[in-house]
Structure 1
Amino acid sequence: MHLMKGWRVLCVVLGLGLIALCACGSESACGPSAGVVSRVVDGDTLVLQSGERVRYLLVDTPESTGGKLECFGTEARDFNRSLVEGRLVQLEYGEACTDRYGRLLAYVTVDGQEVNSLLAEGGYACVLYVSPAGKSRRSEFEALESSARRAMRGMWGRCSPVSCAR
């Protein structure tokens, strides 16, 4: 009887521990794993309702803010806005949590679609790799950009020169 009581206590303690672990699943070591987008800053940056600024990993869109409007900057911003503004997004972090401006660096997913990849694939963005952030997926994004260039999608067919191309 005494042994059974000990097992019950152990099961309750383990069960409470699992519940606590699941409740903490909304945060990663870098920041939130999800959030609602309060506003889109430009083609590659957003602000969550919680106040965090998120910069998309591995992509760089033409500028559309700060008095600097580059070719296809408005289109990139509007495309990003159409996908995420006011929506719940999931965030997945890479090898670095933040950039030098304190923005979270993440792959952003909405409705099962990764926005970073869509930007590169659609010709809205160039690849921007700043070591170590994005190292594990760099070649994947370079292939998406190359495909968009060859197909003359987005800015690759409309802008000369492309402002973010290096």
Structure 2
Amino acid sequence: MWTVSARGWGGLVGALVLLGGCGPESACGPGAGVVARVVDGDTVVLHSGERVRYLLVDTPESTGGKRDCFGAEAREFNRSLVEGRGVRLSYGEACTDRYGRLLAYVSVEGQEVNTRLVHEGYACTLYVPPAGGTRRSEFQALESSARRARKGMWGACASVACDK
């Protein structure tokens, strides 16, 4: 028969949390979660209810009656990467945007989704100071590379909604 003291339960629960991939909380929000729903190419909702907006990323619109070129493709690509999966969250210089969404870099299985979206041509770089200031040039370089290679929306769309 198994017996576990109160102290033993704490250790067991701690071990299960570590094995389950839950990350530590930060000042901004959770360090990890499971994606319950993909809203669009750059926003997800976690099972815990938090809405997360990818930091430094702007994908063409695919919701709210607005259908930009490559918006549906960006949403589906994002869905293929994260929906129903455990993700890690890390934060930049600001915790939330004006809509109350968490602003985070999102990683799944050690691969950052934010950079992948820009690198593959599903997203533009969106810098809203101060959020993402330390990595802005990295994302701009990824976008320039995708443009030159005509990846994703840069090769498929006559006009790109987020193009400056």
Q: TM-score, normalised by structure 2?
A: 0.86
Match of 1:28 among 23, 26, 29: 26
C-alpha displacement of 1:55:
0.1
SS in 1 for 2:81: helix
- RMSD of aligned Cα (Å): 1.7
Would you say the 8 A contact 2:23–2:30 is kept in 1? no
The code of the aligned residue for 1:57 comes to L
C-alpha displacement of 1:137:
0.2
C-alpha displacement of 1:26:
1.9
Aligned to 1:39: 37
User: 1-side partners of 2:69 and 2:156: how far apart?
Assistant: 8
Higher helix fraction: Structure 1 or Structure 2? 1
Match of 1:68 among 66, 69, 74: 66
Would you say the 8 A contact 2:42–2:78 is kept in 1? yes
Structure 1 unmatched runs, 5+? 1-18
User: 1-side partners of 2:98 and 2:124: how far apart?
Assistant: 20
User: 1-side partners of 2:23 and 2:38: how far apart?
Assistant: 26
Aligned to 1:145: 143
User: 1-side partners of 2:135 and 2:77: how far apart?
Assistant: 22
- Show structure 1 runs of 4+ deviating over 4 A: 22-25
Give aligned pairs, total: 147
Percent identity between the two aligned chains: 76
User: 2-side partners of 1:43 and 1:101: how far apart?
Assistant: 17
Aligned to 1:165: 163
The code of the aligned residue for 2:56 comes to L
SS in 2 for 1:26: coil
The code of the aligned residue for 1:100 comes to R
User: CA deviation digits over 1:14-71, x for unaligned, max 9?
Assistant: xxxxx8xx99962000000000000000000000000000000001000000011100
User: CA deviation digits over 1:98-140, x for unaligned, max 9?
Assistant: 0000000000000111000000000000000000000000000
Aligned to 2:3: none
Aligned to 2:125: 127
Structure 1 residues 90, 161: CA separation in 2 closer, same or farther (over 3 Å shift)?
same
Aligned to 2:50: 52
Aligned to 1:91: 89
The code of the aligned residue for 1:59 comes to V
SS in 2 for 1:54: strand
